Amino acid sequence: MGLILKILVYLYLYAGVQSVHQVSWLPCQFIDEHVFVNNEGHTETQLIHREAMLQFGQSGDAPVNPQAITYLLTGSKLDLRRYIEGVEVDDLECELRRFSTEGIDVRWPVQGAQEYNRWFTVTLKHTQGLFTVISFLRHPSDQPPSGQQDYRSWPPIQDREKLTTAVAMVIKTLSPAVKASLGSQQRLHCQFAVDHKGPDVTVEWHWQNRGERSRLFSHSSRSGGQSQGSGVVLRSLAGGDASYTLPFTKMSSEGTYVCSVSVTPLFATLDLSLHVEEAPRVSLNVGPTLSLPEGGEHKVICMAEGYYPLDVEVLWYQQDPALAGQRVGAPLPKPVPNILLSSHKYNLDHTYSLSAFFYLQASLKETGRQFTCTVSHRSLRVPIKKSFILTVEEPSNWMGILALVFIVIALVVLVMLKYLYSARKTAQKRY
């Protein structure tokens, strides 16, 4: 049994279906920077994409891919894999960049740290948008800064170089993109961690949209922990939870929410986009069945109301419900011709409404036919459908019926007059 289990494990690993916590390395793109002054005297940055590996291990470990640049993540209080465990490697995008401290050089307060450090960021994103993780890698150096901005004199990194680093700070969000309905409460997730106790942390939240920017919350552990604004639970900050709660979503809530965490000389930001999506309310101006005489006409309206954003699709189809129930060979519904659309109505709550209608001419051959209105919108997982069944009645011979009624009435009147005449004549004879 043990041998079979080992074989299964081997096959599982050989197939490459491994989650992050089971592997010791990740392939990455290292986006290097070459900063230079052009012929016009302006500073330009050239981005250079290079192959790199993010390798977890101990100092002195050999690179798993000697042909690539290796960032060896050694012992630290922070294990980057813990923030992405359970995720398949193929579902991750890994990007490495240099990080500029903008001329700020301080000794990182951990045991054994050297005086100088070179900094890098590694960004891990889930391909389906489930999370974003930004981590700061500290690479100790015995070389003092050059006296100018570090990005103007980046130390060269060779194609096969190995850099021994440690994770110094991590910031993560589980809600990089949020879809919210009007009036809902939303929790915008943001968490962080630092590799030493009692760091001087500044946490801020900003909102920005179409050129506008405003600060929602700020807290600094310096000066007794001063705070401004609301939306973040202060007692949660000590545990690294900087999530922001939006109590009531409005149209004006739409935009980008920026969670920033600063521990000198590091500064990290995460952009969380919030989009308002309100599902339409769909109704018809007829009931489940519509009865019309042959040749009759009726205006049938499908109304989609209270949706946001603007894009919506309203279609009409017709089909025979008996044929639609067939498992094999059922004909597809046919679009109803000559559909007319109203203009978009802008409502007071900033949502929209639209109607699609047509004039139904009743024909006996269409009796029993099902008409369906289908409304599609980005807020809906599946379209909303509303249907009715048409019943067409044969025309009645109203002229014949009216003539018969008149004849009956005339006969009744004649009988009554004859009776009255006889009764009157009988009465005269008595007197």
Q: Is residue 407 part of a domain?
A: no
AA identity, residue 22: Q
User: What is the SS3 assignment for 99?
Assistant: strand
Sign of CA dihedral 140, 141, 147, 153: negative
Q: Is residue 344 part of a domain?
A: yes
AA identity, residue 430: R
Do 244 and 386 lie in one domain? The reply is no
Neighbouring C-alpha atoms within 13 Å toward the C-beta of 182: 13
Neighbours of 87 (CB within 10 A): 19
Question: Is the confidence at residue 175, as pLDDT, over 80?
Answer: yes
Mean pLDDT of 230-244: 95
AA identity, residue 126: H
Do 191 and 243 lie in one domain? The reply is yes
The pTM (predicted TM-score) of the whole model is 0.79
Read off φ and ψ for residue 215, nearest 5 degrees.
-90, 130
Do 190 and 241 lie in one domain? The reply is yes
Residues 280/312, Cβ–Cβ less than 8 Å: yes
Give me the domain span that covers residue 204: 18-270
User: β-strand 116-126 against 352-361: which pairing, if any?
Assistant: unpaired
* Euclidean distance between CA atoms 314 and 379, whole angstroms: 14
- Digit-coded pLDDT (tens) for 303-349: 999 999 999 999 999 998 877 656 666 678 999 999 999 999 999 99
Question: Is the confidence at residue 289, as pLDDT, over 70?
Answer: yes
Mean pLDDT of 276-290: 96
199 upstream amide cis, omega within 30 of 0: no
Do 250 and 311 lie in one domain? The reply is no
In terms of pLDDT, which residue wins out, 226 or 418? Answer: 226
Question: Is the confidence at residue 2, as pLDDT, over 50?
Answer: no
Provide the pLDDT for residue 401. Answer: 65
Do 58 and 167 lie in one domain? The reply is yes
Q: Is residue 379 part of a domain?
A: yes
Helix ranges, 18-160 (H): none
Share of the chain above pLDDT 70, in %: 88
Q: Is residue 56 part of a domain?
A: yes
Q: Is residue 99 part of a domain?
A: yes
Do 212 and 320 lie in one domain? The reply is no
Domain count, the chain: 2
* Euclidean distance between CA atoms 217 and 422, whole angstroms: 105
State the pLDDT confidence band at 38, using cuts at 50, 70 and 90: confident
The answer to which of 100-104, 203-207, 248-252, 274-278 has the lowest mean pLDDT is 100-104
Do 222 and 78 lie in one domain? The reply is yes
Do 141 and 243 lie in one domain? The reply is yes
Mean pLDDT of 195-211: 94
Do 265 and 335 lie in one domain? The reply is no
Do 61 and 203 lie in one domain? The reply is yes
Question: Is the confidence at residue 409, as pLDDT, over 90?
Answer: no
Mean pLDDT of 137-159: 82
Mean pLDDT of 267-296: 96
Q: Is residue 422 part of a domain?
A: no
246: its two tokens: 């939006």
| CATH number of the domain enclosing 376 | 2.60.40.10
